[in-house]
Structure formats: C-alpha cells, structure tokens
Amino acid sequence: MAAAKQRGIAMIPRLFPRRARGGTLLAIVILLLLAANATLAAARHLLHQSGRRAEAHSAATLAEAKAALLGYAIGYPELHPGQGPGYLPCPDDANTGSAPGVACHARGLGAFGRFPYRTLGLPIPTDGRGQCLWYAVSGSFKHNPKALTLNWDSSGQFEIVDTAGRTLGGEGHSAVAVLIAPGPPLPGQERPPAAVAMGAQRCPGSDNPAADLPAFLDRAYDSGFAEGIAITHGLPGSNANDIVAWLTVDDIFNALRLRPDFPALIDTALDAAATALQAWLDDPSLIAAHAETIVDGRAHGRFPGAAASGVAPEAADIHDNWRDQLRFVACTGETACLTATLADSATSNASAVAEACRAIVLFGGERLRGDTPQRRRTGTERADPAQYLEGENLASYTTGAGGYNGFRHYTIIDRRQPASEDIVRCIP
C-alpha cells in the first residue's frame, strides 16, 4: 500500500507538468494567432494608410499640373508677343519632358502624350505610385497649329465620366485639357522602364507615347483624334485606376477675365472691326458682298476673316479669334439710317446718349446661362443672332427696323458672372 501510495504520489508530479506543457502550448498558439491577426490588421491599416497617402500625393500632383497649365494659358501673350491668351502646350511626344518644337498633329486634331513638365517649369511630376502624368489637349486650344478661332465659346473634345459612365465634368465635351495619373499597372500591362540611353528621358517608357499609351492608361487612346472622346476617372485599386483632372473652357476664361487688360483685348477686337467697317462704307460693294440680308436699306451680316475684312495685320489674330462674336449693320445709302442709344460701359455712371449711325458693330458678350441659356457650339447655333443678341438689339437686327442700345466698351461688373451685355460701336 505504502508502495502504491508512493507510486501514486510519484505519478502526480508527472501528470501536472504534462497538463502544464499542453496548456502552455495552447496559450502560445493562441498568442501567435492573436499576434498574427494583429500583424495582419496592422498591415491592412498600413496598406490603407499607404493607399490614402498615394491618393493624396496623386491629387496634389494633378492640382499642381493643372495650375501650371492654367498659368501657361493666361500668360501666353507674355511668352509669345503679338498673340492672344488661352493656348495650351502640345504634349511631350518624345519623353523628354518638353512640348515639341513642331506641330502636334494637324489643325483641329486633339493630341495625347506625356505631360510637358519642363515646358511648364515644373520638376518631374509623378503620382502616388511613382508614375509620370499623361496629358491630352483639344485641337481647339493647342498652341501648334492653332485653331482658326479661340474664345470663350470654343469647344473642347473631352467629357469626363466615372466607371459607371456618368458625367463628372466637361459635359458636352467642354473639357479642353485632361491630366491623368495612371497609378499601378493593371493585369496585362507591362510598363517598360526609362531608357537611360535617351539622356533627357526620365519617365518610364519609350520615346514613343503612342506605343506606350496602352501600357500606362486604362484605355488605348489615340495619340491624335478628331472627335470628342470620353475619359474615365477611375478608382484606386479597381480595374480602372486612372485618376483624372481637367480644364474646361470656362476655367480658362474665368481666369483670363481676372487679367486687368482683358477688357482692352475685347475693345481691340471691336476697334479693328469698326475700322474695317468704316472702310467698307466707302466701297458699297464690300457691304453687299458681306451682307447676309438687306432689309429697307439696312445690310446685316457677320465679319469674314481678317484678310477679307481688311483688318490691320497687328490686330489680325485678335479679330480672327473673336469675329464669331461680331455682327454688323450698315446703311446701303449715304446717309445715317440707324440710331444707337449708348452708355460708355456697364460700370459707368454716365447717362446713355442717342447717336445717329451709318453703320454699327455689334458684339454679343458672353453667352447667357440660367433657365434660357444661349448656345454657341454648332455652326447652326453660331449663325443664329439670338444666341448672341438680346432684347431690342435682337429685334432690330432680325426685323431690319428699330434702334440699338448698349455700351461702347466691354467691362466686367461681377467677375463671378458672365458679362453678357451687348457692346455697340456706332460709325457716324
């Protein structure tokens, strides 16, 4: 018995260590699982934070590039004396960071390529994943070759949509430039590294953006295009991960209207047209040649290009850019058959004065927005005087009877609102 007890007692110390060892092992496993879960949670948090930082970096880079483009458009006359504002650079077509020194495709064609950061005085701009920005510009706003007309009614070629196809910006293809952060490669995209031998080449890829486009962007966009295209603003981490920023025609001209000399540019276009129209009065055949209608001794029409109008060379570019805003009314006889009641400007306190005129130049001002907007996108809309003139001026122009009224000079009353007031120049 004593021996049995001794054996039992001897067995007890052996039983507890085994249980202790099993419990310790289980605790270690549980701790390892908890640690693994914590590590995974921390990794997910870090990945999420990393993604958020990458998105923020991409957004900041896109915003900086957009601001640089806007500055280029506003300051274009300073860099190119004698030319009007609003133009945007061609894309980098050789992976050098610079816009080409030659034309990017034919007149009117949009162009796709890399962002010309050196032309804009920026360091190499990369998104949150280290990828260089891509850039597209409408044929209506690119600087080479220039469109025949550029003003606040010029059309863009881009509409920005989300992954469901809903419009985010540039409705009716009014976006004139697009910046794209391509993000990480999608399955099937193999992005070549930068070729060191290129010297100035610093962005990943070759010196042929047309060939590289499918490797960097979600869609295989054409490097040159005539029609409007939709650009998809994607979602990070999805199968459409291009992040997009864009400029519209209103973005550019809302900024240009802040230039103190912008009203003088409009006045220059009016002065040039009035000088040309005064010369036409000495040669009635010119009035007849350019008239669209003649009613009761009044000829109504639009101005042709600078050369055909007889505009001086120094004002030719301004005239051609703004002539679709201009219309004329001229007496076919030698006496004044028109009346115009004019104030100096919309910001002047002086009273309007009635004047007798042999001819009148009409400038429609910015298009009306709101419930009854004016539309000037198509050729038919631009030919319609109702898309430019309002009230008595529209009635007099379309019926060939009645007087005109307005302001002699273009001014901006509220920089947050379009200056849609008709501008009228009377030629006595």
Contact partners, residue 287, CB within 8 Å, separation at least 6: 280, 281, 299, 330, 332
Please give the full DSSP string across 181-206, using - where no structure is assigned. E--SPPTT--PPPP-GGGSS--SSS-
For residue range 157-167, list pLDDT tens digits in order: 999 999 999 99
Asked whether the beta carbons of 157 and 142 are under 8 A apart, the reply is no
When mean pLDDT is compared across 26-35, 79-88, 416-425, the lowest value belongs to: 26-35
Q: How far apart are the C-alpha atoms of 219 and 204, rounded to whole Å?
A: 18
Cα separations in angstroms, 108 against 15, 66, 121, 202, 377 = 91, 22, 26, 30, 15
pLDDT at 377 over 50: yes
pLDDT at 396 over 60: yes
Contact at 8 Å (CB) between 300 and 287?
Answer: no
If you count them, how many residues does the chain have?
A: 428
Each residue of 398-426: pLDDT tens digit? 999 999 999 999 999 888 888 999 999 99
Per-residue confidence (pLDDT) for residue 13, from 0 to 100: 45
Alpha helices in 347-390 (DSSP H): 379-383
Contact between residue 154 and residue 147 where contact means Cβ atoms under 8 Å apart:
yes
Residues 167-188: what's their mean pLDDT? 89
Q: Which residues pair with 407 in a beta bridge?
A: 343, 423
